[in-house]
Each structure stands twice: as C-alpha cells, then as structure tokens.
Structure 1
Amino acid sequence: MNYKTLLVHIDDSRRSSARVEIAVELAQRWDAHLIGLYVVCQDMFRPLFNEDESLRLAQAEAQAVERQRTARDAFLAAAERAGRSIEWRTPSGPALDAATLHARHADLLVLGQEDPKDPAAYIERNFVGNLVLGAGRPALVIPYAGAVRTLGENILIAWDGSREAARAMADALPLLKRARFVGVDIVQPAGQHAYVPEGIDVAAWLDAHGVRASFSTTPKHVSVGTGATLLNRVSDLHVDLLVMGAYGHSRTRERVFGGVTRTMLESMTVPVLMAH
C-alpha cells in the first residue's frame, strides 16, 4: 500500500511554502501525483459600496489575484525541481465545501495548523477539523511553529480501541512501514489497569503488515488531559509523527469539552496524522 495521490492545501500564510515542501518530499517517497489546492478565506457578506469603496474593492481583488499567482508559481517551481506529476486547482464556492469535495479524491491530505498570529492562515472557523471530519481521508496536519526536520522516523500511535484510531493506524501504514521506531501507547486513567491483550493485538496486526512496534501505557493524572499527556509522551520519546483518530466523541461533546482532537489542533508540537 502506498499513497498514489497527495493533496496539499495552499493559502497565503507564512507556513504555506513549508507545507508544500513537505508534500513534495512525500510525493517523491511514493512516486505520487501531487495536487495543490488553493483555498483562502472568502468574505461572502460584502455591503454595498460607494465609488471610493468600489475602487478599494477592485484593488483588493487585484492583490488577491497576484497572491494566487505567486502561490501557484512557487508550487509549480517546487514540483518542477522534484520532477513531480502535479495539478494546480483553484475551486470556486465556499471554502470548506470546495476543499472537502477535492479532498475526497486523494489518498492523503497535507494541511496546516492554523496560526493565530497570521491572519492569512485563517480560512474559516475550525477549517482543518471540519475538513478532517467531512473528507473521509487521512490528513497530515503540519504545526505552524518550528521546522519539520524529520517526518515519520519515530512514530507514536495513540490507541484507545476506537474505530477512529483503527482507521488512522491503517491509513498510516505507508509511513509506519518506513519508520525506524513505532510505538503504540494507551493513555490510561489513574487507578485503572491497561488491557494488555488489546495492545498485544494491535502490535500483532502491525507485525502482520511488516511493522514492528513496541507497546506501552501512560497513566493520565486527573489534572492533565489526555491530549496534554500525549504531547508529553511525544516529547519524552522524541517522536516526529503522532498517529491518532479524530473526533472519537460526538461533535457536540468535542465543542463543549474540548477533546483530544481539539487539543492537538491547537497545541500540536509535531505533525499529526488524523483520520475519522
């Protein structure tokens, strides 16, 4: 199993070019076709303009066209240097709807964590989370802070026995097979004992697919959430990729109480492969 089609989300943010470089490198790994999907924030509620405001609007639209051209040229240049088979897409319509439609025809999505200090990184509220939820495809989300020096050498799988975790693990197989180290970790509430056979079964499934993995449990303290516990584990093990299921609980509960997915989308320190 390999990824044959990758889709990278491109916008006008500072980290977009770094995301493209990662996507190009991954396309080289699997000799995959690469799609650059340019989707940016759209203001759908423009008031009526007087003549001066209309002029400013025309100038803003001209600047938007120039930014799109700059992003396209950078994407094409990066892909040409790597000798990749590529496509450039600029769909019309609402951002999330357009991105979801195109994402469903890719094997892996390369997305970026929203940077709260970069207005150009904002597409719409919870864009990445909603795209992961609606696309039905695995998404590799790249953090906005720090450089990604390695990707997939040391991988940690966050296992909780859920359908989403199983989906993410299966979707990550091309990366897992290339890793030097793979660990499976269960975050266990304080006072409970881990169900060891479950971890053994996960490791056995991976071994059947040519992936040797270690198994561990990490106790979760009452004052520390599961997401923060996983981030601490990532740091302790020098992990460069976390694999996890996304939105294992209902969206209502996630919105009210936060949840592991929200923690990762807000506070990730390494790339995270998510699947729902």
Structure 2
Amino acid sequence: MSYKTLLVHIDDSSRCETRVALALDLARRWDAHVIGLYLVGDDLGKPLFGVDENLLTSLTAHATERRRQAQQTFLAMAERAGRPVEWRAPAGPPVETATLHARHADLLVLGQPDPRDPTTYVDRHFVGELVLGAGRPALVIPHAGAIPTLGENVLIAWDGSREAARAIADALPLLRRARFVGVDVVRRADNFDAASGAIDVAAWLEGHGIRASFSTTPRHGIVGTGATLLNRISDLHADLLVMGAYGHSRARERVWGGVTRTMLESMTVPVLMAH
C-alpha cells in the first residue's frame, strides 16, 4: 500500500506554501501525483447591500488575480520539485465541493485554520467536516511553526475505537518509513489495564514489518486526553500524531469529540486523522 494521489488544499494564506512543499515531498517518496485544490472563502457569494457595480467588479478582479497568483506559485513549486501536478479551482459550496474531489485521492493534505489569519478561512469547520465526510485520511498541518521532519518519530493515539483502527491502517505508508513508532493509550490514573490494547496494536504492526513500542500515559485530574497527548508529543519529540477523528451532528450543529477538537484547535505537529 502507498499513496499514489495526494490532494493538497490551496488558499491565499502565507502558510499555504509550507503545505504544498510537504505534499510535494510526500509525492516524491511514493512517486505520487499531486492535485492542488484551490478553495477560499466565498466573500462574493454573500449579499452586498449598498455596493455599486464598479466595486463588485473590482472585488471579482481581485479574486481572479489571487487565484492566478496561487496557481502560478503552485505550478512553479511543482516544477522545481520535478513532480507531476494538476490544478483545480472548482466552483460550488466549499465543503461539498472539497468532499467530492477528496474522495478520488489517497491522502488529503490540509491546513489548520489560523484564527488570526482570515485568508485561512474557507467555511466553518471546513477541515473537520472534510475529515469526517470524505472517507479519506487527512494530514493536517499546524498553522505555525517549522516542520523540519515529518513521519520520522510517530506517536499513535490508541483508544480501541474503529476510528483509531482506521487511522493506523491509513497511516501504514508513513509508518513503514518511520524511524520510531510508539503506540500510546491515555488512561485514567487508576486504570492499570489499558496497556493490553497498545500491546496488541504493536503486535499487529509487527506483522506489517513495523517495530513499535507501546506505553500508557495517565491522565490526572481535570487535564483532558487531548492536552495529555500534546504533552506526550512534546516529551517524545514526535513529529507526527496518528489518531481517529470523532464528531456527530446535533440540532444542525457539528459536535466534535474532545480530542479531535483539541487537536484541530491546538495541534503542535502534523496530525494524520481518519474517521
């Protein structure tokens, strides 16, 4: 198993080039094709009361120029990397449009939204909705910080769920190339039986030629599982987290699992998520 088609989300943010560079590097590893999917917030689709036609024309021209610049940057980076790529800038509702295109890829490369940078905004819960709805694994890149390595020291968050099992299976191409792989179970401080699940996962990975250590990390007091995992990532100097993603709809609003929400908001390293 390997990734042969990568889909990277492209927007107008300064962080986009980091995301594209990572996608091109991954494509080199597996001799994969890269699709650049340009989707940005639809400012022009919102009602414009009291705006004259000249201003609307100017806004449209500005959006066209941003798209042209993004395409030129993407194609230039691909040419320097020597990778075959494809540019797509489809129209339509962002989540639904991205989900359709994502289902024809092996791995999605997405960016964590930055609340301080409006150019990273596409749609409310865009990344989370895509992870849950596309049926494909997504590698989500933090909105800040250098990423000198990716997938050399991998931490797997295991909780025995279907989503976690799916994430590990989807991450196999990355895990096979890792130097270190650890399976960690975050447990309540008084639960000493949690280690068996991590042991079984490590044994399963051994069957795929991947040597993995296993451990349990106690969760103390009011500290949540997500915060405990972030601390564990820091302690181990991990450069990739693999985890299942959780969420469901309630009263027309998406409700995220606690760990999923924490990672989407506060990730410090790239996170491979699957649902």
Q: Shorter-chain-normalised TM-score: which range?
A: over 0.9
CA–CA distance in structure 2, aligned partners of residues 46 and 199 of structure 1: 52
Kept in 2: contact 1:159–1:244 (CA 8 A): yes
Provide structure 2 residue ranges, at least 5 long, that are not aligned to the other structure: none
CA–CA distance in structure 2, aligned partners of residues 63 and 17 of structure 1: 20
1:170 lines up with 2:169 in the alignment: yes
Alpha-carbon distance change, 172 to 125 in structure 1, aligned in 2, over 3 angstroms: same
Trace 1:173-188 onto structure 2 (pairs within 5 A). Answer: 173-188=172-187
Shift of 1:129: 0.3
Query: After superposition, what is the alpha-carbon deviation per residue over 1:154-196, rounded to whole angstroms, capped at 9, x for unaligned?
Result: 0000000000000000000000000000000000012111333
CA–CA distance in structure 2, aligned partners of residues 257 and 191 of structure 1: 26
User: 3-state DSSP class of the match of 1:193?
Assistant: coil
1:137 lines up with 2:136 in the alignment: yes
For 2:38, the aligned partner's letter is: Y
For 2:170, the aligned partner's letter is: D
CA–CA distance in structure 1, aligned partners of residues 225 and 107 of structure 2: 26
CA–CA distance in structure 2, aligned partners of residues 202 and 257 of structure 1: 25
Kept in 1: contact 2:157–2:185 (CA 8 A): yes
Shift of 1:250: 3.8
Shift of 1:47: 3.5
CA–CA distance in structure 2, aligned partners of residues 99 and 194 of structure 1: 41
Could you say which residue in structure 1 is the equivalent of 2:237?
Answer: 238
Trace 1:45-194 onto structure 2 (pairs within 5 A). Answer: 45-49=46-50, 53-194=52-193
Could you say which residue in structure 2 is the equivalent of 1:202?
Answer: 201
Alpha-carbon distance change, 48 to 9 in structure 1, aligned in 2, over 3 angstroms: same
Kept in 1: contact 2:185–2:194 (CA 8 A): no
Kept in 1: contact 2:194–2:216 (CA 8 A): no
User: Under a length normalisation based on structure 2, what TM-score does the superposition of the two structures give?
Assistant: 0.96
CA–CA distance in structure 2, aligned partners of residues 162 and 256 of structure 1: 18
For 1:125, the aligned partner's letter is: R
Alpha-carbon distance change, 256 to 221 in structure 1, aligned in 2, over 3 angstroms: farther
1:215 lines up with 2:214 in the alignment: yes
Could you say which residue in structure 2 is the equivalent of 1:31?
Answer: 31
Kept in 2: contact 1:24–1:34 (CA 8 A): yes
CA–CA distance in structure 1, aligned partners of residues 28 and 243 of structure 2: 24
Query: After superposition, what is the alpha-carbon deviation per residue over 1:85-144, rounded to whole angstroms, capped at 9, x for unaligned?
Result: 110001111111110000001000000000111010011111100010100100000001
Kept in 2: contact 1:194–1:217 (CA 8 A): no
For 1:47, the aligned partner's letter is: L
Kept in 2: contact 1:107–1:137 (CA 8 A): yes
Could you say which residue in structure 2 is the equivalent of 1:11?
Answer: 11
User: 3-state DSSP class of the match of 2:42?
Assistant: coil
Shift of 1:49: 4.6
CA–CA distance in structure 1, aligned partners of residues 31 and 59 of structure 2: 39
**What is the CA RMSD across the aligned residues, in angstroms?**
1.6
Kept in 2: contact 1:21–1:78 (CA 8 A): yes
Shift of 1:46: 1.5
For 1:45, the aligned partner's letter is: K
CA–CA distance in structure 1, aligned partners of residues 186 and 250 of structure 2: 23
User: 3-state DSSP class of the match of 2:186?
Assistant: strand
CA–CA distance in structure 2, aligned partners of residues 197 and 48 of structure 1: 61
User: Under a length normalisation based on structure 1, what TM-score does the superposition of the two structures give?
Assistant: 0.95
Query: After superposition, what is the alpha-carbon deviation per residue over 1:42-81, rounded to whole angstroms, capped at 9, x for unaligned?
Result: 133323555xx22111111101111100000011011111
Could you say which residue in structure 1 is the equivalent of 2:2?
Answer: 2
User: 3-state DSSP class of the match of 2:155?
Assistant: strand
Kept in 2: contact 1:158–1:244 (CA 8 A): yes
